[in-house]
Structure formats: structure tokens, C-alpha cells
Amino acid sequence: MEVYLNGKDYQLQFPVLPSSYNVDGKAQMSSLDITTRGEIDVFEGKGLKKYKFSSEFPNGDRGYCKCSPKPPEEYIKQIEKWMDTGEVVRFIVTEKDINLEVRIESFSHEVRDCTKDEYFDIALIEHQPFLYTFKPKESKPSSGNKDTNKTNRPNNTSKDNKKTRYHTVGKGDSLWSLSKKYYGDGSQYKKILNANKDKIKNPDVISDGWKLVIP
């Protein structure tokens, strides 16, 4: 087994395998108070995994090293650079099916004896890229009117022309999760409920395929 951290321009193989490593995974959960049922749990997605382990950077080759070690200072300088800049690196553990992008959450090290070996603790957090799309604002064609006072007047009909948003219910959707998605606050789910009273009879039950108005 071999353990690596690979950056854009540097590949770091840990010369000494950690005796163990810890994997911390979780689900994002919240609670919702339903009038007729009381408190219920709401699943909001998978949480980021964290990996923690301890090992050493030996000051010289040892019989138990997996590769010819570099000076401990070089490893330490590179890891601290990745951590301080927030660079995304790839964490690989061969034979364990671990190969994913991470950031370094914490890193500490110390010298414990006269050998100048550096012992360290490191924590890695899974990286999930933030994906978004940007739609440029469409410019309106010029009316040819040279009267700046008229062309600069606010358009009072903009609110009337605003398109109605819709959301097609999919697996795992709830009023709480939709409210959090569109308004950033799950507790505003009643906005969606009130706009779709023709479909929703129970705020705790929405069905796949429903086309809901998002006011």
C-alpha cells in the first residue's frame, strides 16, 4: 500500500505508512415541525468526508520506509503551502479504493527525539467543486430616442413581465428542501405551500412529477 498527496506541480508520497487512518462521513440533516405530526427529520444531502492520520517524516532512510525519503523540511513546507493557499490536491491510498480531491484542513508536527524525525498529524476534507451558471443580462435594443430623461426612466412594467418559476418534484424533494434551495431558508416553505394549494393538501406530502409554482 502507498499513500500520496498530488498537487498541480508536486507529488508527495508519504515515506512511512500510517498505522491507521480515520474516515469521518455524515449526512446533512435538519428537522421540520409539522403541525399534525410533530417534528420530522429532513435529509439535505451528503456531507463532506474527512480523513485523519498520523505518521512521520524520517530524517534519513529507514528500513520501514516505502520510498527514499526527502528531508522532513521539504515535506512540511509543501504541505503547509497547500494548506495556507487552499489548493485542491488529490489524496490516493492504493489498495484501498481511495482516490479523491481534498483540501488540507489541519496539519501539525513535532520533533520527539534527537534523530530529528518529524512526527505529524494531518486532517483532509473532501473537495466538492461549486458549480454555477451565469446568464448575461440581455441588452434591450435602442429605441432611437435621444431624450436621456425618457430612456433612463425605470421600467414600471418589469414586475408584470417577470416569468413565473416552476419546479418539477423529484426524488427526495420536500417543501423544506425546495424553500432552502430557492430562498436560502427552509422555514419559508409556506410560500410554496400557499402558491400550490390546488395540489398540496398535506405539507408533508408532495409527489414526484408535480409541477409546483415557486413564487
pTM of the model: 0.54
Is residue 136 assigned to a domain? no
Rounded CA-CA distance 130/14 in Å is: 29
Is residue 114 assigned to a domain? yes
Q: What percent of the chain has pLDDT over 70?
A: 85
Are 36 and 93 part of one and the same domain?
yes
Q: How many CA atoms lie within 13 A of 211 on its CB side?
A: 3
User: Average pLDDT, stretch 76-81?
Assistant: 96
pLDDT tens column, 170-213: 888 889 999 999 999 988 999 999 999 998 888 888 888 899 99
Residue 113 pLDDT: 79
Residue 89's CATH number: 2.40.30.200
22 three-class SS:
strand
In this structure, are residues 123 and 105 in contact, taking their beta carbons and an 8 Å threshold?
A: yes
Residue 48 carries which DSSP code?
P
Domain count, the chain: 2
Confidence bin at 81 (pLDDT 50/70/90): very high
Domain termination residue (choose one: 126, 155, 178)? 126
Is residue 143 assigned to a domain? no
pLDDT tens column, 93-144: 998 888 999 999 999 999 987 888 999 999 999 998 876 666 676 766 665 5
Domain termination residue (choose one: 70, 100, 126)? 126
Range of the domain at 168: 163-214
